[in-house]
Structures are given as structure tokens and as C-alpha cells.
């Protein structure tokens, strides 16, 4: 079975299965379908294929669900779920870990994954000749400035024999990274 098919089935089953886990009765639309708000983690992309296929093929509707796919606000999707403004969201693994382990953890539960592996990575222009993490010394790194990202980066650079203190960390403040 193709990985994309497995991902689609997993997302579909998670949403359907979890739709019944709320403590109060869910609102319904004019057709009597249960309204579900599903907030993405970023602009629609291939990570969300399963959700869009299920919507397009009517799988949610067949199960009595009126799923509204929502673009995330700048502050991310997790706070919307924690505040009860949405039932489900997609979030980055690093963000989920921080939300669950901070001094003031969000009242959310990680229920499943939509990807087999984390898609985060470090990218550089070829001309910068960064071939391994230690080569990031004396370079500028645009960071989301989260504690877990910095801890992972420090570990990777140090394990490769580099000095993390020599990497200039510049917090990313661009909302739309792709157009920048």
C-alpha cells in the first residue's frame, strides 16, 4: 500500500474517531452534520493532502462531519485548540513538544501523526559550502527562536564537532517566508 494512501486513511480515521471524543454535544450544520474546525499548521501543502482528498471525495460528509479547514493565525494553531476555538489542528513536532512540556502546558493532547517522518531540515545555498552541521560555524542561521529548535541545533552541531556558540542565530520575523 502506498504511503500516501496510508496517510490519507490515518488522517481520515483520526478525525472521524476523535470527533466523538468531545465532552459536549458538537454543533451541527443545517444538514445535521457535526461541525469540525481543522486548523492547518501552515499554508496548504503536500503534508495536508489526506485532509483535502477526504474533503474532496466526501469521506467526511459520509461520516456526518462538516469539516472546515482553517488557515492558522500567526500565533499558530495549538492555542486555538487549547482555547476551544477549534477541535483539531496540525502542528509541528517541535511546537507540540514545547506546548506539552512548558512551565504552563497547553491543555491539548497529541493524538496522531500525518507524516511518517519529521520534514524539518536545514537548507543553505550550495555556494556557501555547508556540507555538515559543523560547517555552520561563523554563519547566520534564521531561527524560529524556539527553545527546542535551538537545543536540537546545538546537539547536532556539537555532535558533528562544531561550536554552536559560533553560529549567529537571527530570529525569523517574516510571516510569509516563501515570498521573502
Helical spans, DSSP H, in 21-142 = 49-56, 59-62, 78-82, 93-101
With a CB cutoff of 8 Å and minimum separation 6, the contacts of 155 are: none
Nine cell digits for residue 13: 480515521
Residue-level pLDDT at 121: 84
Residue-wise pLDDT for 76-129, tens only, equals 899 999 999 999 999 988 888 888 888 999 999 988 888 888 777 889 999 999
Work out the end-to-end distance of the chain between its first and last CA atoms, rounded to an integer number of angstroms: 38
pLDDT at 14 over 70: no
Question: How far apart are alpha carbons 41 and 72 in whole angstroms?
Answer: 6
Beta bridge partners of 65: 34
The CATH superfamily label for domain 126-171 reads: Periplasmic binding protein-like II (3.40.190.10)
Q: Hey, is 166 helix, strand or coil?
A: helix
Question: How far apart are alpha carbons 15 and 20 in whole angstroms?
Answer: 9
CB 56 within 8 A of CB 44: no
Per CATH, domain 3-101 is 3.40.190.10: yes
CA atoms within 13 A on the CB side of 159: 6
Q: What angle, 0 to 180 degrees and rounded to 10, lies between the N-to-C axes of helices 93-101 and 147-159?
A: 120
The percent of residues in the chain predicted with pLDDT above 90, rounded, is 51
pLDDT at 4 over 70: no
Residues of the chain with CATH 3.40.190.10: 3-101, 126-171
CA angle (145 as vertex; 134, 90 as ends), nearest 5: 110
pTM of the model: 0.66
Amino acid at each position: 500500500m502506498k504511503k500516501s494512501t496510508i496517510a490519507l486513511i490515518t488522517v481520515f480515521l483520526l478525525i472521524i474517531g476523535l470527533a466523538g471524543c468531545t465532552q459536549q454535544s458538537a454543533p451541527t450544520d443545517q444538514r445535521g452534520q457535526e461541525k469540525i474546525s481543522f486548523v492547518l499548521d501552515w499554508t496548504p501543502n503536500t503534508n495536508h493532502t489526506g485532509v483535502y482528498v477526504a474533503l474532496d471525495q466526501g469521506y467526511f460528509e459520509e461520516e456526518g462531519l462538516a469539516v472546515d479547514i482553517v488557515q492558522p493565525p500567526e500565533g499558530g494553531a495549538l492555542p486555538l485548540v487549547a482555547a476551544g476555538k477549534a477541535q483539531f489542528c496540525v502542528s509541528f513536532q517541535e511546537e507540540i513538544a514545547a506546548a506539552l512540556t512548558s512551565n504552563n502546558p497547553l491543555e491539548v493532547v497529541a493524538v496522531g501523526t500525518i507524516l511518517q517522518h519529521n520534514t524539518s531540515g536545514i537548507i543553505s545555498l550550495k555556494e556557501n559550502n555547508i556540507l555538515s552541521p559543523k560547517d555552520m560555524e561563523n554563519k547566520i542561521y534564521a531561527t524560529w527562536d524556539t527553545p527546542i529548535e535551538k537545543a536540537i541545533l546545538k546537539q547536532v552541531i556539537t555532535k558533528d564537532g562544531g561550536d554552536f556558540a559560533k553560529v549567529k542565530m537571527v530570529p525569523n520575523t517574516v510571516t510569509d517566508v516563501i515570498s521573502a
